[in-house]
Amino acid sequence: MRHFTNVKDIGPLFAALAKARYVKENPFADQALGKNKTLLMVFFNSSLRTRLSTQKAGLNLGMNVIVLDINQGAWKLETERGVIMDGDKSEHILEAIPVMGSYCDIIGVRSFARFESKQADYDEVILNQFIHYSGRPVFSMEAATRHPLQSFADLITIEEFKKSTRPKVVMTWAPHPRALPQAVPNSFAEWMNAYDCDFVITHPRGYELAPQFVGGARVEYDQDKALEGADFVYAKNWAAYADPNYGKVINTGRSWTVTKEKMALTNNAYFMHCLPVRRNMIVSDDVIESPQSIVIPEAANRVVSAQAVLKEILLSL
Ligand code: AN0
Ligand code: CP
C-alpha cells in the first residue's frame, strides 16, 4: 500500500481484518520493520484519539514519531496558489509540504472540511497536495470527506462484537450545536457498503449525504423505524451536504438524541460513536454508560487500525 485515504486502499476486507487481528494479538512482532523510519503526523485540526493511537501504533512498529500542530507554533500556511501573500500567512503549503516530506518516511495528515467551498472539500485539495508534493506515502487521519482509520477501527469492532453473520447496522444522525464535517458518516457508509451487513442510514430530511457515499445503503427518514431490530447503532452528527445548505446546521433535531427509549426499539443493540461525543445531545448518559455501549473498545481499536495500515505502508517502502 502506498497511500491510505479510502476503503479501496486496504484491499479485500476479510484479508485486512485478518491482518488487524494479527496486529492486535502480536503488537510488538514487527518492531524491526519501523526501525530508523520516521512517521510525521501533521494536524490542521484538534485530536485526542487519532493523535495518541497513531503515535502508539508507530511506536509499536519501532518507528520514530514526530507530531506537528500547524496551528500551534508552525507558520500560518497559505493553501491557494496565485495569492499575493501580503496578509497573515507567512509560508505557502507548496514549500511546507516538500520540506516536511524531507524529514520523514511516512506522513499522516488531518485536515477537515473547511465548508468554504464544497468543491475544494470534495476534491480533497489539501490531502492531495500532500500526496503530490511530499514525495512520501500519505495516510488520512481524517480529511475533508473521509476518516478511514476510524472506519477501519469501527469495522474491527463490529467484527468482534457481532452475534450473527449479517448484522443490522444503523447509522443515525443525532443533534449537535456546531456544524460538523461529513467525513465520519461518509467513510463509515463507504466501509459498511463494502462489508456484508444490513446497512441503514437514518437522518432528518435535508441531511442527505453525497450519493457516492450512500451507495446501495437503505435510507430511512423515520428514526424509530430504522432502529427496529438493529444490532449496532452508530450515532454521528453531520452538517448538511445538499446545496444551498452545504456545511450548515439546518435542524436542531433534539428528538433524534439516542436515548434508552430509542435503544429499546433495537435488538439489544450495541451503541457506537467515534468520539468525541456530546452527552445528552448525541446520546443520553444512561445509554453511553450502559453495558451495550462499546465506545471505549471502539476507540481502543484505533491503535489496531493505525498499526495495520502503517505496517502495510512500511512493507511497501
Ligand atoms: C470531528 C468530526 O465530526 O469530524 C472529529 C470526529 C472524529 N468532530 C468534532 O469536531 C467534534
Ligand atoms: N475519533 C477521532 O478521530 O477522535 P479525535 O478527533 O480525538 O482524534
Identify the residue whose C-alpha is closest to ligand 2 atom 6: 47
Do the Cβ atoms of 59 and 44 come closer than 8 Å? no
Domain map of the chain by residue range?
7-146+302-316, 148-298
Ligand 1 pocket residue status of 295, Cβ below 6 Å? no
What distance in angstroms lies between residue 59's CA and the mean position of ligand 2's atoms? 19
Beta strands 77-78 and 91-92 are: parallel
Quick one: what percent of the chain has pLDDT higher than 90? Answer: 98
| Domains 7-146+302-316 and 148-298 alike in fold | yes
The DSSP output letter for 76 is: P
Give residue 56 CA to ligand 1 midpoint distance, Å: 21
Does the C-beta of 177 come closer than 6 Å to ligand 1?
no
Is residue 30 pLDDT above 90, yes or no?
Answer: yes
CA 49 to ligand 2 center in whole angstroms: 4
314 within ligand 1 shell (Cβ under 6 A): no
What average pLDDT does the structure give for the chain?
Answer: 97
**CATH, domain range 148-298:** 3.40.50.1370
Q: What is the pLDDT of residues 108-161, one digit of tens each?
A: 999 999 999 999 999 999 999 999 999 999 999 999 999 999 999 999 999 999
Q: Does domain 7-146+302-316 have CATH number 3.40.50.1370?
A: yes
Distance 276 CA to ligand 2 centre (A): 6
For the cut 90, the answer to whether the pLDDT of residue 70 exceeds it is yes
As a whole-number percent, the residues of the chain with pLDDT over 70 amount to 100
pLDDT digits (tens, 9 = 90+) for 285-297: 999 999 999 999 9
Nearest Cα to 54, choosing from 151, 154, 140, 112?
Answer: 140
Query: What was the pLDDT predicted at 251?
Result: 86
Q: What sign for the dihedral angle of Cα 127, 124, 11, 168?
A: positive
Ligand 2 within 6 A of CB of 301: no
- CB of 274 within 6 A of ligand 1: the answer is yes
**Residue 145 and residue 27: Cα distance in Å, rounded?**
30
State the distance from the centre of ligand 2 to the C-alpha of 99, rounded, in angstroms: 26
Please determine, for residue 107, whether its predicted confidence score (pLDDT) is greater than 90. yes
Whether 186 has a pLDDT exceeding 90, the answer reads yes
Give per-residue pLDDT as tens, 14-27.
999 999 999 999 99
pLDDT band at 252 (very low <50, low <70, confident <90, very high): confident
Q: Report residue 177 as a C-alpha cell.
A: 450545536
- For residue 25, what is its C-alpha cell? 494479538
Of all protein residues, the one whose alpha carbon is nearest to atom 4 of ligand 2 is 49
Higher model confidence: residue 252 or residue 134? Answer: 134
Ligand 1 pocket test target in 43, 110, 112 with most atoms within 8 Å of CB: 112
Q: Report, as an integer, the average pLDDT of 173-201.
A: 98
pLDDT surpassing 90 at residue 183: yes
What local confidence, expressed as pLDDT, does residue 253 receive?
A: 86
pTM here is 0.98
Question: How far is ligand 2, taken at its centre, from the CA of residue 84, in Å?
Answer: 35
Mean pLDDT to the nearest integer, 263-268: 98
149 lines ligand 1 (CB under 6 A): no
Show the CA angle centred on residue 46, arms to residues 76 and 156, nearest 5°: 135
